[in-house]
Chain A
Amino acid sequence: MNRIRENMKYISFRAGLFLGLTLAGLLILLFLPEPGGSAMQALLRRKGLLLVVVGLFLLAGYVFLIKPYRVLAGQSRRFTEGYLSLAELLESPVMYSPSSEKTLRHLEKLVGMTDAIDLSKRQAQYRALQNQINPHFLYNTLDGIRSEALLGGMDSLADMTEALATFFRYTISRTENLVTLEEELENCNTYFKIQQYRFGDRLRLEIVRDMEDWEELRTALLPKLTLQPVLENSIIHGTELRLGEGVTRIVLERTLHRLVIRVRDNGVGMEEEQLRELNRKLSQGLQEPDNSSHGKQGGVALANVNNRIRLIFGEEYGIHVYSMLGQGTEVEISIPYTVRKRGDQVL
């Protein structure tokens, strides 16, 4: 009985108005006083009124039935194509029938539970790994290797070990989610230094920034480990495969509301279709990165960074890739411009 009542409420909301308008129009026609004037004038007036009623009927039909249906169909399509999550679908301004809404809410609960279980499982795995590594043991060992190398006169080995220790310290030990751009760039430089031991002069890193804006840029906040995975991706899938010198440029810019970072390489680039597919996946976001694509274009690293940005700042931000076969690739990272104010909590 309750269900019938709920469904009646739903129907009355749209169709009630629709039927009401139609009935009102018909009533006007039925109880209209006999018009004066000639028979032709009366007929014309009645016809005119009939037209108005039909017009209102069509308009009401469009506003209360067709338009909501179109919105619902569009949102469902976006959901099935992966642009919308279940939560977003439920939040979007669509009128569901009460029973459909109930089903969707229940489904959301079930999905949420699975996600929470997955998340806690992954966190537990990560903690276990972190405990196994025992950072202090790792740093002490690396420091030991560095000292031995210095004593043995192997300066480059000492430098390399120092760079590796710095890199791990930043990656493993720092627990905050948001760091400054300056810190991220330092980590990139450290990572690049390690890669240079492998590639030598074949690799070059350029950081381009407007010195006028640098003071504002360097304190801008971004999720930790946003830049390094993108840089790694650019080296491994772009410049490493290229014959001759590989140049990676990091261009830093800010607009009124955004921090824009472009990581560009002069590597092998990618096919148009591959690029479309990658950008489509990044647009859809918040999906489990597909491990099978690893090794092709580094879809996992980019998807991870993109997902983190979108989770923190919203879907208007994230990563977009530009590329042409043989001409290199550019990864554009877009983040809202925020700085840590005095007294702000470390996230």
Chain B
Amino acid sequence: MKQEILRLERVTCKTGDRTQLQDVSLSVQEGEIVGLVPVSTYGLESLLAVLLRNEPIYYGYVYYREECVNSWKQDRRGRNPISLIDGNISLVEGMSVAMNLYAFRPAKHDEILRERQMQEMVRPYLDDLAPERFGITINPDEPAERLSPLQSVVVEILRAYMLGHRLIILREIGAVLSEEQVLALSGVLRHYAQRGCAFLYISMHMEEIRQICTKAAVFTNGSVAMVAELENREESGALEQSSYRVYADSLYRSVSGALSNAEPEFPPETLLEIRTRRMPYGISVRKGECLAVQFLDTRPYREIIRSLAAPETEPGTELYLHGKRPGRADLRSIAVLKENVAQTMVFREMSVIDNLCMTMDHRLPGIWLKRRQKNLIRKEYIRLTQHDPFERSVSALSAEELTELVYMRIYMQRPQVLIVEQPFKGADVTLRKRIWELIELLMREGITVVLLTVNMADSLTLASRVIRVRPHGQVEEYRRGDFSELPDNLPWAAMYRDLEREMEQQKGGLPSE
């Protein structure tokens, strides 16, 4: 008999007349790693608020370690001993690992002043974890800012464990880790699961959930629709089908169509080339290509991101367009989309139409004053997206509409190259489908696309070529015909393998399985 670490019984949450959570029932037992797949992220923030801070609930009960901590009958606030770890590392910079681990303990703060004693206290925990077993080395003296994302996540887990938190929520950790690191993290989670912890692993990717979790739940529109034991093949298959149903079919059709066609030919000349200090050989892309670059170490990724935002801050970074450094005239030829465009690339004080037209000045000078042209653009937008957001303010738009607006801005801008940083990061299944469609639309218009990723997510389904950058700058290159050779745990790689096998069978006249 296991202890039930978390039990949500018919939790309903309302904000005014809007129902954020509707009859959410979920149980997490000691030693379980439960995956939560948000098909839609609506209500997810409320769920986390209820779990972490005991936000008032309209109906239902919340139990932590078999004790009722929140219910509709009582107005009890306060934090639960539950930790949330997400991509934004919360370790204190300038403090060592040991200090980060020790400083947050509720008592015995005087050891902080005696460094050796503090390290002695931390060491048994590190020895128990033995991170080397999972290919991770953690030096207790290392300053927090020098840790890799994987090391930081492990230290955060260790800190939660030392604080006595028996439920740890990991939210979209895969977005900052490569698939090899996800595998290493899986070992760490299992280690602490055996020590009596339980994990709620929120991820948009079933591949990741399957790799890490023992049980999974589909979260949609503020409810838990389905729970499945992943060891049971039938149940996990049903879960996968249901969480991907909204877009797997169209994706499968598109990829199989692309595979059955001959591999597209691209002109031999390089359109864009990027070199950085950590990648002296650089990456180059040709016109019409969709290049997915996966960084197995986040440092060169961060370096590129910083250099794209402010090239002068990153010495050693060089960017060439048609073999030349881009000048002022090339300002609109290269477009960059940051992570989570709905948050980072929209100007909320501007109207929707101005947000859309803001990078069109090179195509239509003085567009700001030309109402007729704006109306034509508006009509074109509605024709392409089947949505009319123009009567509303930007703040009233949903994440999907905002994402659409940003990508359509690029469509109107028509750059030669579009560089997208982690396009699918933080997007639920519905939004991922929309992003995928929008990037495809841009590619059809002849825009060259470079996808910069740490976790490949769905980028493989769009790419015509993949470059994997290893920790010391070594580069592996895969053309579309070689995608089936990519590692098993890479999202969608298995689909390429299945499709290839199917095609070979068809060619050889063998019956398919």
Contacts and interface: CB of A to CB of B under 8 A. Distances in A.
A257 B68 CA distance: 12
Given A254-B1, A264-B235, A322 B66 contact: no
Given A266-B234, A276-B22, A256 B66 contact: yes
B58 interface: yes
**Most B-side CB within 10 Å, residue of A216, A264, A282:** A264
A330 B1 contact: no
Contacts of B12: 283
A322 B1 contact: no
**Most B-side CB within 10 Å, residue of A255, A276, A323, A330:** A255
Given A264-B235, A316-B61, A276 B224 contact: no
Task: Tell me what chain A mostly uses at the interface: helix, strand, loop, or mixed.
Answer: mixed
Given A316-B9, A316-B61, A279 B238 contact: no
B238 A330 contact: no
A24 to B, nearest CB: 28
Contacts of B66: 255-257
B22 A320 contact: no
Contacts of B235: 264
Interface string A253-290: 01111101000101000001001100110110000000
Given A279-B22, A283-B12, A324 B218 contact: yes
A332 B25 CA distance: 10
Interface string A276-310: 10011011000000000000000000000000000
Interface string B1-41: 11110000110100000000011010101000000000000
A322 B10 contact: no
A327 B239 contact: yes
Contacts of A83: 59, 72
Contacts of A280: 22-23
A334 B8 CA distance: 12
Nearest to A251: B229
Interface string A305-335: 0000000000010001011111110101010
Interface residues of B, number: 34
A186 interface: no
Contact of B10 (A254, A266, A320): A320
A322 B224 contact: yes
B231 to A, nearest CB: 11
A279 B2 contact: no
Contacts of A256: 1, 3-4, 66
A169 B1 CA distance: 34
B139 to A, nearest CB: 40
A332 B8 CA distance: 13
B2 A275 contact: no
B241 interface: yes
Given A255-B29, A324-B238, A330 B226 contact: yes
B221 A283 contact: no
A256 B4 CA distance: 7
B373 interface: no
Nearest to B237: A327
B23 A276 contact: yes
B220 interface: yes
A247 B234 contact: yes
B242 A327 contact: yes
Contacts of A283: 10, 12, 23, 59-60
Nearest to B75: A71
Contact of A272 (B3, B220, B239, B241): B220
A322 B9 contact: no
Interface in B329-387: none
Given A213-B1, A276-B22, A324 B223 contact: no
Contact of A258 (B4, B22, B226, B238): B4
A260 B27 contact: yes
**Most A-side CB within 10 Å, residue of B10, B72, B220:** B10
Contacts of B224: 322
A336 to B, nearest CB: 12
Nearest to B14: A77
A276 B2 CA distance: 30
A185 B268 CA distance: 71
A322 B226 contact: yes
B73 interface: yes
A38 B212 CA distance: 73
Given A255-B2, A272-B221, A327 B226 contact: yes
B72 A322 contact: no
A270 B461 CA distance: 30
Contacts of B9: 316, 320, 334
A47 B27 CA distance: 55
A181 to B, nearest CB: 14
B241 A326 contact: yes
Nearest to A337: B1
Interface in B190-240: 218, 220-221, 223-227, 234-235, 238-239
B72 A78 contact: yes
A125 interface: no
A195 interface: no
Contact of B3 (A78, A216, A255): A255
Interface in A117-152: none
A275 B225 contact: yes
A279 B23 contact: yes
A99 interface: no
Interface string A182-214: 000000000000000000000000000000010
A159 to B, nearest CB: 30
Contact of B225 (A255, A264, A272, A334): A272
**Most A-side CB within 10 Å, residue of B22, B59, B241:** B59
B36 to A, nearest CB: 13
16 contacts: A74-B58, A78-B59, A213-B1, A257-B4, A276-B23, A279-B23, A280-B22, A283-B10, A283-B12, A316-B9, A322-B224, A324-B218, A324-B226, A324-B242, A328-B238, A334-B9
Interface of B: 1-4, 9-10, 12, 22-23, 25, 27, 29, 58-61, 66, 72-73, 218, 220-221, 223-227, 234-235, 238-239, 241-242, 245
Interface of A: 74, 78, 83, 92, 213, 216, 247, 254-258, 260, 264, 266, 272, 275-276, 279-280, 282-283, 316, 320, 322-328, 330, 332, 334
Given A256-B3, A276-B22, A325-B242, 17 more contacts: A78-B59, A78-B72, A92-B73, A255-B66, A257-B66, A260-B27, A272-B223, A275-B223, A279-B223, A280-B23, A283-B10, A283-B23, A320-B23, A322-B225, A323-B225, A327-B238, A332-B25
7 cross-chain pairs, A with B, having the tightest CB-CB distances, nearest first: A327-B238, A324-B242, A255-B4, A279-B23, A320-B25, A327-B242, A283-B10
